[in-house]
Chain A
C-alpha cells in the first residue's frame, strides 16, 4: 500500500470563495506591512553596522553581569542574549553580544572590540570568543541596497521568463504570488523580531525560486488543459489543473519540509533563522501558488485562442529523448 498524502482523484473547488482567500492574503499582507513600517526589522550587523561577539564559556551565562560590564564602556546600544541549542554540550554556554556601530565611525574600530573583550573576560575568565564580526556603516548601507536590488532583479527576471514562456497574465499571477510570499516573510521577521541578516536575503531569493517552481508547475498544467478542454471556462480549467497537480504539490512540499525541518532542529543555531525563513517560505509559497497566483490569473482572464500549432505548446521539450 502506498502512502498517499492526497486522495487519488480530488475534485476540490478551490475557487468557491476567491474573495475570502484574496481577503485573507490581503489582510495578512497589510499586517505584515504595518508591522514592517511601525516596528521595523531586527536588522543584523550586516545591515546596520556594528559588532557581534559570540562567546562560549563553561559556566552559565549571566546576562546581567555581561550587561553591567559592557555598560561601563558606554558603547551605546548593547544587546545581549543567551543562545540555546540542543546540539550544545553541557559545558557549552553561548551568548551573543551585539554592539551598535559607534557614532562617527566609518570603519570598524578595533578598540571597541578589544574593550568589549576585556570587559567580558573580567566577568568570566574562561570565556572564549568563538566569533567576532564587525561591519562598518559604510558597507552595511551598500549591503542593504544590493540586497534590495537582488530581490527586485530576481522578480524582474522571472517576470520576463514566464512572460516569454507563457502569457503576460501568467507572469503577473506568478509575480503577485512572489510579492505576496516576500511580504509575508518580511512580515513574520518583523512581527517576531527575528534577526534579519544577509543570509535571510538568500533565503528570500530561494523562496522566490521555490514559490515559482510551484506556480510554474500549476501554470504548465493550466496551459496544457486550456488546449485540452477548449470549451470549459477558465475557472473550471484552473480547478482541474490544481486538482491534478495537487498530489505533486504536496509531495514536493513535504519532502522539502522534511529536509528543512531536519536542518532547523539539528543544523545548529547559526543558520536557524535562515532555515526558518525557508520553512515559512515553502508553506506560504505552496499556498500562494494555488490561492494567489491562480486567482489573479482567473481575474485577469487569459487568451483562449491558441491558434498557434498546438501540438508543441505545453511540451516544447517533450520530444527530448533520454
Chain B
C-alpha cells in the first residue's frame, strides 16, 4: 500500500538533483559563456591573465554546459550550398592531355599522327590518323589509368577509354566519378571549415547534408553575404624557393624575400623567395600514398602549365629545399631529390598515415575544388534574436504562472504537487538540452511552452482517476494507488504516440523545426518522469506524514 522503497526515492531525487545541476549554468548564461570562451582560449594557448580572470568567474567543478542559442535567437547567417561536383571532372580530364599525347606520340608508328578534338567538358577526344592502330592506342591510353582509391570502387580504374571510329574518347569511369565526388565534397567541407575557423566565431555549424550539400551556420556574423565572402576567398597555396631557415622571428628576409613561420615546428622560420615557383591554382590533385620505403607520403599532380614550371625548377635545383606554403605558413620544406618531370611528385617526411591524409586534404584544400551554388541564405539580425528571446521569456513566464494558478485552483494541494513537478520538469528539459549541447530555437521555446501546457496532462489523468476511485474505492490510500495504476496505460500510450511524432519531426525536419522536435521530445520524457515518479513520491511523502482519513483532490 502506497509504498516506495527508499532506494527508489534516492534514485528519483538524485535524478532530479542531477537535472537541476545540469540546468543551473543556463541561469547564469552570460557568466558561464564568458567562462567557457576563456577556458577554450586558454586551451588554444592564449593563457593571459585576462582569460584566467574570465575563466575564474564560474567555478570549474560545476557543470558548464549551456543550451546553444539557435541562429534565430542569437542572430547570424545561414547558408545552404550545393557543391557543383561535375566541375572537377573537366579539370581532371583536361590535365590528362599531356600524358595521353606523350604515350600516343611514342607509338606514332602504329597510330599515326594525333590531334586533340573539341569535346564536351569532362571528355577528351583524340583523333588518330591510322584507325587500324585503334586497339593499340586504346591499350596505351588505358595504361595511364590508375586504380580507384575508394572502398566501393575497389578493383576499378579511374579512366573509361573507348574508341569511336578514329577517335579515342577518354572520360572518368563511374567508380572514379563517385570517388571524386566524395573527395570534392570532403575537400569543400574542409576548406569551408578552415576559412570559418580562421575568422574565429563561436560554434559555427558546418555540416554535410544529403549527398552534395553543405549547411553552414555562423552565429554572430553580420550577413550571409559576409559569410559568402569568407568562404569564397581561396586559400593561397604556393611552392616557393627556400633561402634560409632560422629560429629568430626578427630575421631580416632581404629584398624580394619573406619570412614565414613553420606550421609544425614551433619557433622555426623560413626565409623564402617571394615569387612562387608554382601556386596551388595549378595543382589538380593530391592523394595520400606511400613512398618506396612504405612510409606515408603525399602524391600530387599539377596541370600542364604548372607541371612545366615545376619540372624546369626541380631540374635546375636538385639538392636545394623548396617550401610548400599554405596561407603564409610553411607546411614542409623538403629537399629536391631529383628532376620531377610530368608534373606529379611525392612529398615525403616523417608522416603518420593520418598526417599524410591531412596534408593531402590541405594541399587539395588550396582552393575550393568546385563552385558552390547557394540554395538558401538567411541573415538574422541580433536585434530580432534578442526581441524573440525577450518575447519568448515573457510568454513562457506568463504561460507558466497561468498554468500554475489554474492547477492550484483545480486540484488544491495535489495541484501544488503537480506544480512543483512542472517546475522541475522545465529544469530537467534545460538540463537535458545542456547535457547534449542541443540548440534552442524560437520554435523550440514554443515547444517548451507547449510542454508546460501538456506536461500537466499526465498528472491530470492521474488526479481525475483518483477522484473517480475515491467514489468507489476503500479509503484514500487505495484510491491513490488505483489512480496511478489505472491511469498508467493511458499516460504511456498517449505519450508514446506524441513521442513518435516528435521523432519523425526530428528526422525529417531541419533547423528551427528540429529545435522544436528536440524540446518537444525531451518535454515528453521529463513530463512522464515527473508525473509518474516525482509527483507520486511527493504525494506518498505527504500521505505518510498526514495519514488523512478523507481526501479531496
Interface of A toward B, CB cutoff 8 Å: 2-5, 54, 56, 87, 106-108, 110, 113-114, 128-136, 138-139, 146-147, 149-150, 153-154, 157-158, 161-162, 165, 198-199, 201-202, 205-206, 208-210, 212-214, 216-217, 220-221, 224, 244-245, 247-248, 251-252, 254-260, 262-263, 265-268, 270-271, 274-275, 278, 314-322
Contact = CB atoms under 8 A, between A and B. Distances in A.
B60 interface: no
B432 interface: no
B497 A220 contact: no
A47 to B, nearest CB: 12
A213 B495 contact: yes
B183 interface: no
A217 B501 contact: no
Given A259-B402, A267-B395, A268-B391, A158 B497 contact: yes
B398 A266 contact: yes
A112 to B, nearest CB: 11
Given A150-B509, A255-B403, A278-B446, 19 more contacts: A4-B410, A106-B373, A110-B377, A131-B384, A133-B378, A134-B377, A153-B504, A217-B493, A252-B460, A255-B407, A263-B395, A263-B399, A267-B391, A267-B446, A317-B492, A318-B486, A322-B4, A322-B12, A322-B484
Chain B interface extent, by class = 35 or more
B334 interface: no
B122 interface: no
B476 to A, nearest CB: 16
B442 A107 contact: no
A198 B454 contact: no
B387 A202 contact: no
Contacts of B406: 3, 254-255, 258
A129 B403 contact: no
11 contacts: A3-B406, A108-B376, A134-B376, A136-B375, A138-B375, A161-B500, A252-B460, A256-B453, A259-B399, A278-B446, A322-B533
Nearest to A244: B468
A247 B467 CA distance: 11
Contacts of A131: 378-381, 384
A208 B460 contact: no
A217 B490 contact: yes
Contacts of B540: 322
B233 interface: no
Given A136-B374, A216-B494, A260-B453, A3 B8 contact: no
B449 A262 contact: yes
Contacts of A4: 410
A121 B505 CA distance: 39
A3 B410 contact: yes
- 7 residue pairs, one from A and one from B, having the closest CB atoms: A256-B453, A259-B453, A268-B391, A150-B508, A209-B498, A262-B399, A259-B399
A269 B176 CA distance: 51
A107 B513 CA distance: 22
B544 interface: no
A245 B457 CA distance: 12
Nearest to B12: A322
Per DSSP, chain B at the interface is helix
Nearest to B451: A259
A213 B378 contact: no
Interface in B220-259: 223-225, 228
Contact of B520 (A107, A136, A206, A315): A206
Given A128-B383, A322-B540, A198 B512 contact: yes
A254 B399 CA distance: 12
B208 to A, nearest CB: 15
B376 A139 contact: yes
B448 to A, nearest CB: 9
Contacts of B452: 259
A216 B493 contact: yes
B484 to A, nearest CB: 7
A212 B494 contact: yes
Given A3-B409, A128-B381, A248-B460, A259 B449 contact: yes
B505 A210 contact: no
Given A213-B494, A216-B490, A206 B407 contact: no
Given A212-B498, A213-B495, A146 B508 contact: yes
B488 interface: yes
A247 B464 contact: yes
A310 B502 CA distance: 32
A89 B457 CA distance: 37
Nearest to A87: B391
Contacts of A206: 450, 501, 505, 516, 520
A163 to B, nearest CB: 12
B454 A130 contact: no
B327 interface: no
Contacts of A56: 383
A267 B393 CA distance: 8
B375 A220 contact: no
Interface in B128-176: none
Contacts of A87: 387, 390-391
A293 to B, nearest CB: 13
A92 B504 CA distance: 38
